[in-house]
Amino acid sequence: MKTVLHPIRTIRDSILQISCAVSASVEFSRSAVKRSDAETAIPL
């Protein structure tokens, strides 16, 4: 039974890692957009 569950657990872990990476990149792009908006509003 463990041999059956191990690939499923590995797939689930990889999906969790991918979703974490996607949410992190979304947050990063959001902050980049906010930063560029702030730079255009306040020219340095």
- What pLDDT, on the 0 to 100 scale, is given for residue 32? 86
> What pLDDT sits at residue 23?
93
Token pair, residue 26, equals 């979304």
In this prediction, residue 8 carries a pLDDT of: 83
| 1-44 confidence digits (pLDDT tens) | 566 667 888 999 999 999 999 999 999 999 988 888 877 776 65
Q: What is the pTM of this model?
A: 0.57
Cα 30 to Cα 13: distance, rounded to the nearest angstrom: 26
Q: Quote the distance between the C-alpha of residue 17 and its chain's center.
A: 8
C-alpha count within 13 angstroms, C-beta hemisphere, residue 16:
6
d(CA 17, CA 23): 10
Cα 39 off chain centre by: 25
